[in-house]
Amino acid sequence: MQEMKTPNKKLAFYYVIVIAAILMFNEMARPYFEEAQIQQVDYSTFMQAIDEKKIDHVEVQSNQIVFTEKDDDKKYKTGLMNDPNLAERLDKSGATFTQDIKAEANPILSFFLAWILPILIFFAIGQYMSRKLMDRAGGNSMMFGGSGNQAKIYVPSSEGIHFSDVAGEDEAKENLSEIVDYLHNPQKYSTIGAAMPKGVLLVGPPGTGKTMLAKAVAGEANVPFFSIAGSEFVEMFVGMGASKVRDLFKQAKEKAPCIVFIDEIDAIGQKRSGNLMGNDEREQTLNQLLTEMDGFEGNTGVIILAATNRPDSLDPALLRPGRFDRRVPVELPDLKGREDILKVHGKKVKLDEGVNFHNIARMAAGASGAELANIINEGALRAVRGGRSTVTQTDLEESVEVVIAGYQKKNAILSDKEKHTVAYHEIGHALVAALQTHSAPVQKITIIPRTSGALGYTMQVEEQDKYIVTREELENKLATFTGGRAAEEVKFGEISTGAANDIEQATKMARAMITRYGMSDEFDMVAMETVNNRYLGGDTTLACSAATQEKIDKRVVELVRAQHDKAKKLLEENREKLDELAAYLYEKETITGDEFMKILHAEEEEKAEGPEEQRSTEPTEKTSYNLA
């Protein structure tokens, strides 16, 4: 959609002030310039010129004598002496002479020059500097008046965003399509007595498409769209934010039917604490917003859309019916949603015929719409670097890893011992996962360092999205997390710092099982921990006594230790496979899940196929995979 820009105001006032100042300065400075051009001489020289009849004209002033000589355009001056016969001698020499009578200064002009003109000049300079500061800061100056809002106004356009450009959020689009229908046919709702929600709040994690959905509503409804960020209401001076809110809603009513979109509304909509250290400017802005929203009539045709990542921090008065009546969750897409999003963004690039978006969507579990768009773009960039004209399946699979773990560090050279350690560490993860039930299949294992800091990683991909996870599945994940450290202990008999991230994830999961999921026999179904800002990482806060916290720490250690022992036992029982797989990974550096499973189940396949002489496959030299 196209943006409407407000034309700049004329600067005629400033031009008039500058021209007047120049003229006044010219008139006031002229005598000083003329005085500087007069040459000063002695009084005796002046007397000699009179005697020689060289004087043409003499002007006797109050403090000096200014004269000119015949055939000379220059002016000369000399000091005033007590000479009563001066006039008689000048008359005899034939010179013309006058005496300057200083006129009394005009009081009105003196007052104007001394007071009015300086004030006007400073006022003009202040206005100019104020506007410069406003242009830089993006706001208006309270000192010199003006409180216009900084909303970007878009008008309908054939190139605007529509619902067809937004994928993976079918429920959200269904909720918002009702808003579009109301803007097109308000009589259909008013006839039956139905009132459309005055405000719709879009909530969800970053990158899920909240702003894009708001613009899609405007594109579908074909109405003006006002867009402004919540932080733009907060100003240095108290009252400026409230003034901006009034101006924004005034413009919206004039252009109704229209949509007003406030992004990151939590910047001004946080709960009012009431303490003396609160932000008066923010609270006044919130109060004005509450008043404006509650003052709308049912048929004004102005719909308020807002987006936030922190709905829990919003003031209850803002969320009550009559203001934001409807909350539309914009969650992370599921498997089908991720596939649809990849298809939408895949239309923008040239794809190879063999691209399978379903597999890419499975690999990108938990990715937001913005991350999926980045995956497509990274795949296109990789195709360009490789000199290909189309994006292949390999390009997209590698781009998933780039988004998750970063680019490959080609200059990072591991020592032989470090490379062996990383190989055993990653095979430990994969082997423990494969030896347990209810574990996600292994997709890929690599020991190539990445820019995220990882020296290697094991990728597991679920066949389908899971919304409920059992206690056994969580314990299996804990064992998988500890499998890397367990493999180092089994092989080398020592531990390294490579398991830092595994330890962090295992501890976080074990604590959640005890404090939030009720998977502890001692605490049963009692919540010991609360989650804050679940859309922004989910920070947790303990809600228990110090004694209970000590028990929780003890149970967390016991749970992780039990799964660690389980992982070590599984690896010790399958030590031969651990060595074989680690050697193969050390040699290849990157292996697929199919290669991993083929080596893992090689003996079972041999038994199923029969005696040695009946097998058609070539024998494999296992010694080449064993470590020294």
Which residues are designated catalytic?
426
Q: How far apart are CA 557 and CA 36, in angstroms?
A: 94
Q: How far apart are CA 332 and CA 317, in angstroms?
A: 28
Q: Are strands 64-69 and 442-446 parallel, antiparallel or unpaired?
A: unpaired
Q: Which residues contact 336 (CB under 8 A, 6 or more apart)?
A: 168, 361
Judge contact between 9 and 148, C-beta under 8 A.
no
Q: How far apart are CA 530 and CA 225, in angstroms?
A: 38
Element (DSSP H or E) covering residue 129? helix 117-137
- For the record, the structure tokens of 624 come out as 């080449």
How many contiguous H segments (helices) and E segments (strands) does the chain have?
Answer: 23, 17
Judge contact between 230 and 309, C-beta under 8 A.
no
User: Positive or negative CA dihedral for 609, 591, 491, 420?
Assistant: positive
Contacts for 288-295: CB closer than 8 Å, 24+ residues apart: 288/241, 288/242, 288/245, 288/246, 289/245, 289/318, 290/315, 290/317, 290/318, 290/323, 292/245, 292/246, 292/249, 293/198, 293/199, 293/322, 293/323, 293/324, 294/322, 294/323
Q: How far apart are CA 35 and CA 40, in angstroms?
A: 10
SS3 193: coil
Sheet holding 75-79, edge to edge: 39-40, 75-79, 64-69, 55-60, 96-99
Half-sphere exposure of 181 (CA within 13 A, CB side): 12
Q: Which amino acid is it at 344?
A: V
Among 468, 475, 469, which residue's Cα sits nearest to residue 436? Answer: 475
- Give the other-Cβ count within 10 Å of 266's Cβ: 20
Q: How far apart are CA 210 and CA 206, in angstroms?
A: 8
CA distances from 424 to 416, 445, 583 (A): 13, 11, 8
Q: Which amino acid is it at 574?
A: N
CA distances from 200 to 51, 318, 322, 323 (A): 102, 11, 11, 8
Q: How far apart are CA 439 and CA 461, in angstroms?
A: 9
Q: How far apart are CA 587 and CA 591, in angstroms?
A: 10
Contacts for 340-346: CB closer than 8 Å, 24+ residues apart: 340/167, 340/168, 341/167, 341/168, 341/369, 341/372, 341/373, 342/372, 342/375, 342/376, 343/167, 344/165, 344/166, 344/167, 345/372, 345/373, 345/376, 345/377, 346/376
138 phi/psi in degrees, rounded to 5:
80, 15
Q: How far apart are CA 24 and CA 107, in angstroms?
A: 16
